[in-house]
């Protein structure tokens, strides 16, 4: 049953309570209710997102931040960004961030998973073991245009799970140029037929969570198909305000009472109880916020806010890490870009009409069809004197995303005329670490989000290298016939490395890939928040399952890793309770 207010609940006890009906929460809701004897309640702060047209239409994903399906957070003033604050989008509603993201689907290099096994001292996180969960979470489907995709993707490395993944379904003029350039330049820009083979280096086609021209997210793929199961209740428009300790076992405090409220009626709280487990899947911001509101976190700082510390875990909310990103704009001579679609309402209307009537055309894809991942050149000054932050040789340091138009991801707005290319450059093995802390004890107040963007030498130097890579790539012969890209705006004057660094600090945002605020660590480690089975250290019957638990950030887009972690967590929970 779907409830829209906690006052409607007819039951107050469930075997398992999942906090957050987002990416991980939806996977758990599905898998844990496969056994009809287990009762599950999902509590989600937002509404159902499935009927939101901009959620459904892949191309319109970039218009979702700032709307009703976004928590619309803002970062603290960023010292690495010359004091700027940046918008910090997080999905609000069923499907969570998977319903508002830009759809890129990367499962992470073999290296990253093997490094997690080594960090946690638990070989079950190695790629050879988690591969089963990748195969179980997604499957490759035909692109919307049904064309022959031979050489653009390797079907043999894909699985048979509910999330639909495809290569772009509407070819753009620059796709061929990107591939030609990659094949001509080789080396760091070598053509990679399928990143999801486990080698995240080179240049290749974007794979996205799109099936039949529509977004495929955790809500549509995992939750909606099972939402009428009699052992599943989903409570929407309801925020978890804290966990309440019900007692103490010899293994530690038990936090199995969940306090609920809603923004519509903030003082009207009620409680539900988990008979087996409470699972926090409230995401990288929500999870450490709820833990701290519940007295679980760094005792001294909780005390200074007036919260009674119940379980001292220094690392709750520390370690926030995200991929910094800069939009590099180039003016082009070709009119083969989609710029006019964003400027001309009738063209926008007809393109949307084409999507509505036939699920064809520009809107079946995210704004980018191709991407690249590079390791820094040998001898790069960014790596001087530090351990290589990437997990291994199949993991990159930087990323390029090629957009056939003016992508609205920076400080600049789209000019009224002209044709543009955007190359989004990102640092995918950043070393900067920030935090999520409470601004107040009010659970409805936004927490302080400090992603510490570009605060290390490595991150800024790697970003400058990525910006230079973008220019090297676009200087290659295939671009000189028709497109003739010329750096646009302040980028045109950013000639030296120092100028480029200043440009990055004045313009960077993030790729919206935060992770690591309730990190996994080995059972014996004093750092971290959860053990390798995702149980909150020192607590009983309390797990975290979302991107907070990532011990390091994958050197690629991270949603696939969330699906994999959630699938594995579902198995861990089933095994723990013999379900
Ligand atoms: C704009 C944007 C673009 C992105 N682009 C990409 C991309 O192209 N490719 C990619 O791989 N990744 C992308 N990501 C990242 C990816 O989507 C996320 O890493 C992933 O979905 C996170 O999953 P999660 O389960 O950790 O959290 P979420 O999916 O965010 O789920 C958390 C859920 O908990 C709910 N919640 C929070 N607090 C409470 C509370 N107190 N009470 C009740 N419910 C609560 C939230 O409303 C939300 O539904 C993007 C993210 C964003 C925001």
Name the residue ranges covered by the structural domains of the chain: 1-140+217-318+512-579, 173-206+324-427+455-507
Tell me if 459 CB under 6 Å of ligand 1: no
Ligand 1, closest atom to CA 65?
A: 1
Distance, in Å, from the CA atom of 72 to the CA atom of 75, rounded to the nearest integer, reads 10
- State in Å: Cα 350 to ligand 1 middle: 31
Ligand 1, closest atom to CA 515?
A: 19
Tracing tokens 């044709």 back to the chain, one arrives at: 419
Tell me if 101 CB under 6 Å of ligand 1: yes
Do 173-206+324-427+455-507 and 1-140+217-318+512-579 have the same topology in CATH? Answer: no
Q: For residues 394 and 109, is the Cβ–Cβ distance under 8 A? A: yes
Distance, in Å, from the CA atom of 107 to the CA atom of 368, rounded to the nearest integer, reads 18
Distance, in Å, from the CA atom of 57 to the CA atom of 348, rounded to the nearest integer, reads 13
What is the reported pLDDT for 449?
A: 99
Question: DSSP characters for 250-309?
Answer: TTEEE--EEEEEETTEEEEEEEEEEEEEEEE-SHHHHHHHHHHHTTEE-HHHHHHHTPPP
- State in Å: Cα 24 to ligand 1 middle: 9
> Which residue among the candidates 6, 323, 397, 513 is catalytic per the annotation?
513
Distance, in Å, from the CA atom of 15 to the CA atom of 374, rounded to the nearest integer, reads 46
What is the reported pLDDT for 148?
A: 97
Distance, in Å, from the CA atom of 123 to the CA atom of 148, rounded to the nearest integer, reads 39
What is the reported pLDDT for 108?
A: 97
CATH architecture under which domain 1-140+217-318+512-579 falls:
3-Layer(bba) Sandwich (3.50)
Q: Which two tokens stand for residue 212?
A: 């039949």
- pLDDT tens digits, 439-457: 999 999 999 999 999 999 9
**In percent, how much of the chain has pLDDT > 70?**
100
Distance, in Å, from the CA atom of 463 to the CA atom of 460, rounded to the nearest integer, reads 5
Tell me if 514 CB under 6 Å of ligand 1: no
Distance, in Å, from the CA atom of 465 to the CA atom of 478, rounded to the nearest integer, reads 22
Q: Are strands 509-510 and 324-332 parallel, antiparallel or unpaired?
A: antiparallel
158 annotated active-site: no
219: which DSSP letter?
I
Distance, in Å, from the CA atom of 64 to the CA atom of 156, rounded to the nearest integer, reads 34
**Model pTM score:** 0.98
Tell me if 559 CB under 6 Å of ligand 1: yes
- State in Å: Cα 93 to ligand 1 middle: 9
Tell me if 283 CB under 6 Å of ligand 1: yes
Distance, in Å, from the CA atom of 102 to the CA atom of 558, rounded to the nearest integer, reads 11
Sequence-ordered list of residues with C-beta below 8 angstroms from that of 101, at least 6 positions apart, any chain: 61, 91, 209, 217, 512, 559
On the question of pLDDT at 118 being above 90, the answer is: yes
Which pLDDT band holds residue 410 (cuts at 50, 70, 90)?
confident
Minimum CA distance residue for ligand 1 atom 9: 104
- Give, for ligand 1, the residue of 449, 512, 519, 550 to mutate: max count of ligand atoms closer than 8 Å to Cβ: 512
> Helix, strand, coil proportions of the chain in percent (round to 5)?
30, 25, 45
Q: Which CATH number fits domain 173-206+324-427+455-507: 3.40.109.10, 3.60.15.10, 3.30.560.10, 3.30.70.20?
A: 3.30.560.10
Which pLDDT band holds residue 138 (cuts at 50, 70, 90)?
very high
Average pLDDT, the chain: 97
Tell me if 288 CB under 6 Å of ligand 1: no
Q: Are strands 202-205 and 368-374 parallel, antiparallel or unpaired?
A: antiparallel
Please report, in range form, the residues annotated as the binding site for FAD.
240
Distance, in Å, from the CA atom of 258 to the CA atom of 48, rounded to the nearest integer, reads 21
- Give, for ligand 1, the residue of 41, 58, 96 to mutate: max count of ligand atoms closer than 8 Å to Cβ: 96
Tell me if 242 CB under 6 Å of ligand 1: no
**The complex's ipTM?**
1.00
CA-nearest of 417, 571, 411 to 507 is: 411
Minimum CA distance residue for ligand 1 atom 31: 22
- State in Å: Cα 29 to ligand 1 middle: 16
Q: Answer positive or negative: Cα dihedral of 132, 134, 139, 145.
A: negative
CA-nearest of 332, 370, 338, 336 to 480 is: 332
Q: Which two tokens stand for residue 283?
A: 């995401």
Distance, in Å, from the CA atom of 305 to the CA atom of 300, rounded to the nearest integer, reads 9
Cα-atom radius of gyration of the chain, to the nearest Å? 23
- State in Å: Cα 546 to ligand 1 middle: 9
What is the reported pLDDT for 216?
A: 98
Q: Region 376-404: what's the mean pLDDT? A: 97
Q: For residues 401 and 426, is the Cβ–Cβ distance under 8 A? A: yes
What is the reported pLDDT for 484?
A: 98
Taking CA atoms, 183 is separated from 78, 186, 192, 209, 430, in Å, by: 39, 5, 9, 26, 28
SS3 425: strand
Q: Region 10-33: what's the mean pLDDT? A: 98
Taking CA atoms, 488 is separated from 36, 317, 332, 422, 481, in Å, by: 59, 39, 9, 10, 19
Sequence-ordered list of residues with C-beta below 8 angstroms from that of 575, at least 6 positions apart, any chain: none
Angle between helices 127-137 and 110-120 (to 10 degrees): 120
Which pLDDT band holds residue 251 (cuts at 50, 70, 90)?
confident
Distance, in Å, from the CA atom of 217 to the CA atom of 560, rounded to the nearest integer, reads 11
- State in Å: Cα 286 to ligand 1 middle: 10
Per DSSP, helices labelled H in 209-280 are 218
Q: For residues 376 and 468, is the Cβ–Cβ distance under 8 A? A: no
Distance, in Å, from the CA atom of 515 to the CA atom of 337, rounded to the nearest integer, reads 34
SS3 497: helix
Widest CA span in the chain: 73
Minimum CA distance residue for ligand 1 atom 16: 559
Tell me if 292 CB under 6 Å of ligand 1: no
397 annotated active-site: no
E strands present in 298-397: 311-312, 318-320, 324-332, 368-374
> Which residue among the candidates 6, 323, 397, 557 is catalytic per the annotation?
557
What is the reported pLDDT for 433?
A: 98
Convert 539-560 into a string of H (helix), E (strand) and C (coil): CECEEECCHHHCCCCCCCCCHH
- pLDDT tens digits, 287-313: 999 999 999 999 999 999 999 999 999
Nearest 10 degrees: CA dihedral of 553, 555, 558, 561?
A: -80
- pLDDT tens digits, 533-565: 999 999 999 999 999 999 999 999 999 999 999
Minimum CA distance residue for ligand 1 atom 52: 101
CA-nearest of 327, 294, 289, 459 to 389 is: 459
- State in Å: Cα 357 to ligand 1 middle: 30
- pLDDT tens digits, 29-81: 999 999 999 999 999 999 999 999 999 999 999 999 999 999 999 999 999 99
What is the reported pLDDT for 409?
A: 86
Cβ atoms < 10 Å from Cβ of 209:
27
What is the reported pLDDT for 412?
A: 87
What is the reported pLDDT for 532?
A: 98
Tell me if 20 CB under 6 Å of ligand 1: yes
CA-nearest of 16, 517, 442, 535 to 253 is: 535
């Amino acid at each position: 049953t779907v409830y829209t207010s906690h006052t409607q609940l007819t039951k107050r006890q469930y075997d398992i309570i999942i906090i957050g009906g987002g990416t991980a929460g939806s996977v758990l809701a599905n898998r844990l209710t496969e056994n009809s004897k287990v009762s599950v309640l999902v509590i989600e702060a937002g509404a159902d997102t499935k009927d939101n047209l901009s959620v459904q239409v892949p191309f319109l994903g970039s218009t979702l931040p700032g709307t009703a399906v976004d928590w619309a957070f803002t970062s603290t003033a960023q010292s690495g960004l010359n004091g700027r604050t940046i918008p910090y989008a997080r999905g609000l509603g069923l499907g969570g961030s998977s319903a508002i993201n830009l759809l890129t689907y990367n499962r992470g290099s073999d290296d990253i998973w093997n490094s997690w096994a080594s960090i946690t001292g638990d070989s079950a996180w190695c790629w050879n073991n988690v591969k089963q969960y990748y195969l179980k979470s997604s499957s490759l489907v035909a692109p919307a245009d049904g064309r022959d995709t031979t050489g653009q993707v390797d079907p043999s490395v894909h699985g048979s799970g509910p999330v639909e993944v495809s290569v772009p379904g509407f070819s753009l003029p620059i796709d061929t140029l990107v591939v030609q350039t990659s094949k001509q330049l080789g080396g760091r820009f070598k053509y990679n037929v399928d990143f999801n083979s486990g080698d995240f280096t080179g240049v290749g086609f974007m794979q996205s969570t799109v099936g039949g021209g529509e977004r495929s997210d955790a809500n549509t793929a995992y939750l909606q198909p099972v939402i009428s199961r009699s052992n599943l209740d989903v409570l929407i428009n309801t925020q978890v305000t804290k966990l309440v300790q019900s007692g103490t076992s010899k293994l530690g405090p038990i936090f199995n009472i969940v306090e609920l409220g809603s923004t519509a009626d903030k003082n009207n709280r009620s409680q539900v109880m988990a008979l087996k487990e409470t699972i926090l899947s409230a995401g990288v911001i929500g999870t450490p916020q709820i833990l701290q509101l519940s007295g679980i976190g760094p005792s001294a700082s909780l005390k200074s806010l007036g919260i009674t510390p119940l379980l001292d875990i220094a690392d709750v909310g520390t370690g926030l890490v995200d991929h910094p990103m800069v939009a590099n704009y180039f003016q082009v001579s070709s009119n083969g870009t989609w710029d006019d679609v964003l400027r001309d309402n009738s063209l926008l209307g007809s393109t949307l009409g084409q999507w509505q009537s036939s699920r064809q055309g520009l809107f079946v894809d995210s704004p980018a069809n191709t991407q690249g991942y590079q390791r820094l050149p040998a001898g790069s000054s960014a790596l001087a004197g530090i351990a290589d932050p990437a997990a291994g040789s199949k993991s990159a340091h930087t990323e390029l995303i090629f957009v056939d138009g003016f992508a609205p991801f920076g400080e600049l707005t789209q000019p009224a005329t002209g044709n543009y290319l955007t190359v989004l450059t990102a640092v995918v093995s950043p070393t900067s670490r920030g935090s999520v802390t409470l601004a107040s004890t009010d659970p409805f107040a936004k927490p302080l989000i400090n992603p510490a963007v570009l605060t290390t030498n490595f991150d800024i130097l790697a970003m400058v290298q990525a910006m230079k890579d973008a220019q090297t790539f676009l200087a290659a012969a295939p671009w000189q016939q028709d497109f003739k890209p010329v750096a646009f705006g302040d980028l045109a004057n950013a000639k030296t490395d120092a100028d480029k660094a200043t440009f990055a600090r004045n313009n960077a945002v993030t790729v919206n890939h935060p992770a690591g605020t309730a990190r996994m660590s080995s059972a014996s480690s004093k750092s971290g928040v959860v053990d390798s089975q995702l149980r909150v250290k020192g607590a009983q019957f309390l797990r975290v399952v979302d991107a907070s638990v990532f011990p390091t950030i994958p050197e690629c887009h991270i949603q696939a890793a969330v699906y994999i972690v959630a699938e594995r967590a579902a198995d861990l929970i089933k095994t723990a309770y013999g379900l």
